[in-house]
Structure formats: C-alpha cells, structure tokens
C-alpha cells in the first residue's frame, strides 16, 4: 500500500525559532493534506495542496507541494507556544478513493 | 450544533470483553472512518465506509468490526480477538468526492 514518510519525528525549538516538517512519498500523489493535533486533542484539518509546486500560506505557516508531487513541507516562522502539537501530512491512499494514508507525524515542542 | 461526536471519552475494558465505541455525525457526510492512534505514532486506518450499508477494511482491521446501518452512525466494536486494544480511537467523516476528513474528539480505550 501507499506509504508516506514524515520527518523529523520530534522537534524541540525555542519560542521564536522556525520549524519545518517534511513529508515524502515514493509515488506521485494526487494531493496532500496537513493536519494539526494539539496534545490530548484530535487532528484538525489545516490545508490541502493539489497542484505541482503549489505554495500556500496561513499567517506564519507556509505549505509547499513539490514539483514532482512526491514531497511536501510545512514551515512555521517564529514559533509560538500555541504551535505545540503533532503535525501530520496525509495523502489519498492509492486506488482507494477517499482513503487517506497518514504520515507518522512530527511532534513539536516549543520552549518559552 | 453540527459536528462529529464520539462516546465515551474514556473506556475501560476487561480482557476478553467486546466493547463498542460510538461515532455519530450530523454533517450529512457520506464517508466515515475509524483510526487507531498509539502514543507517539500516526493514525492507522481500521475500517471505512463510503456509503450506508457498505464498509471496507483498512490497514489494521483484525480484531475489529463495524456496521453502517445509518448515514449518521458508524460504531466500532473492539472484539476480544484484538490482542492489544489499548489505544486512542478516532472517528472521522467527510463528504463524498472530497478527501478532507473531520475528526471527532476520540475515545481512549484501556484494557485492564
């Protein structure tokens, strides 16, 4: 089945530092989504990227989809303590329409 | 209030018992999903349903069963055959034709 690899698994930063998490697939993806899960909470949809080379921004968050549509990244500029949580990428699962395959997630800790 | 609800929030089970986790949505979503999340890990798909009275196995269906008799409801039964059931169970739903998924608050299952 489709696999999506996400790195790093953990990231500790000082408040104000930047943060990036990467998602890679061996196969071309039709689209990729990003979710955030706060500690003790449930995943919440952030954004979907569809086009090759697409870049989208949400305030301090920048999402990129690679030109080959095999990788994606989420970059947070000047992290804040409210950014703490686990960030997941998710891709549609091959031939199973509507089925998502999630990356392992990156757990972000922000030290004040 | 529109949304997706799961109950109970915490569930304790004795070894050898079957337990059923509830998932209800009033978003008029066609598709519903069950995921399992273990500490520090990503989401693994247990079962999913794209339409009433139909469902498919996900990546880790062994030891679980589901039903989809109503559009709004997608209960998950964790059977005694599931050897390591202690985990955080997340239900999600989405519109047909769209990959975005909306998650419920989750149920934490602990086997005593």
Q: What is the pLDDT of residues A31-89, one digit of tens each?
A: 999 999 999 999 999 999 999 999 999 999 999 999 999 999 999 999 999 999 999 99
Shortest alpha-carbon distance between residue B34 and chain A (Å): 11
Beta-carbon pairs below 8 A across chains A and B: 56
Name the residue facing B99 among A98, A103, A107 (closest C-beta): A98
pLDDT at B1 over 60: no
Left (φ > 0), alpha (ψ -120 to 50) or beta: where does A60 sit?
alpha
What per-residue confidence (pLDDT) applies to B56?
94
Q: Do B101 and A107 touch (CB under 8 A)?
A: no
Shortest alpha-carbon distance between residue A17 and chain B (Å): 23
pLDDT at B19 over 80: yes
Q: Does A44 touch chain B (CB under 8 A)?
A: yes
Shortest alpha-carbon distance between residue B41 and chain A (Å): 6
What is the band of A94 on the pLDDT scale with cuts at 50, 70, 90? low
Shortest alpha-carbon distance between residue A99 and chain B (Å): 7
pLDDT at A96 over 60: no
Contact B90, B41 (CB under 8 A): no
Q: Does B85 touch chain A (CB under 8 A)?
A: no
SS (H, E, C) A33-87: EEEEECCCCCEEEEEEECCCCCEEEECCEEEEECCCCCEEEEEECCCCHHHCEEE
Q: Which whole number is the average pLDDT over B9-36?
A: 94
What is the band of B69 on the pLDDT scale with cuts at 50, 70, 90? very high
DSSP-assigned states of every residue in B83-111: S---EEEEEEEE-TT----EE---EEEEE
Q: Does A53 touch chain B (CB under 8 A)?
A: no
pLDDT at B99 over 90: no
Binding-face residues of B in 1-40 toward A, CB within 8 A: 31, 33, 35, 40
């Amino acid at each position: 089945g489709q696999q999506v690899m996400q790195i790093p698994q953990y990231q500790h930063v000082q408040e104000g530092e930047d943060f990036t998490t990467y998602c890679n697939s061996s196969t071309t993806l039709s689209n990729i989504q990003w979710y955030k899960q706060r500690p003790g909470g449930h995943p919440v949809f952030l954004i979907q990227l569809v086009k090759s080379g697409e870049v989208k921004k949400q305030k301090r968050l920048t999402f990129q989809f690679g030109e080959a549509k095999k990788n994606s990244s989420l970059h947070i500029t000047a992290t804040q303590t409210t950014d703490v949580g686990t960030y997941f990428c998710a891709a549609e699962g091959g031939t199973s329409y509507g089925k998502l395959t999630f990356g392992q997630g990156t757990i972000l800790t922000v030290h004040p | 209030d529109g949304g997706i609800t799961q109950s109970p929030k915490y569930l304790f089970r004795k070894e050898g018992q079957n337990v059923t986790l509830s998932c209800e949505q009033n978003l008029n979503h066609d598709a519903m999903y069950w995921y399992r999340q273990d500490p520090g890990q990503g989401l693994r798909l247990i079962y999913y349903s794209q339409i009433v009275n139909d469902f498919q196995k996900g990546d880790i269906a062994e030891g679980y069963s589901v039903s989809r008799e109503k559009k709004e409801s997608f209960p998950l039964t964790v059977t005694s055959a599931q050897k390591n059931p202690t985990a955080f169970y997340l239900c999600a739903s989405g519109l047909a034709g769209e990959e975005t998924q909306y998650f419920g608050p989750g149920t934490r299952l602990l086997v005593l």
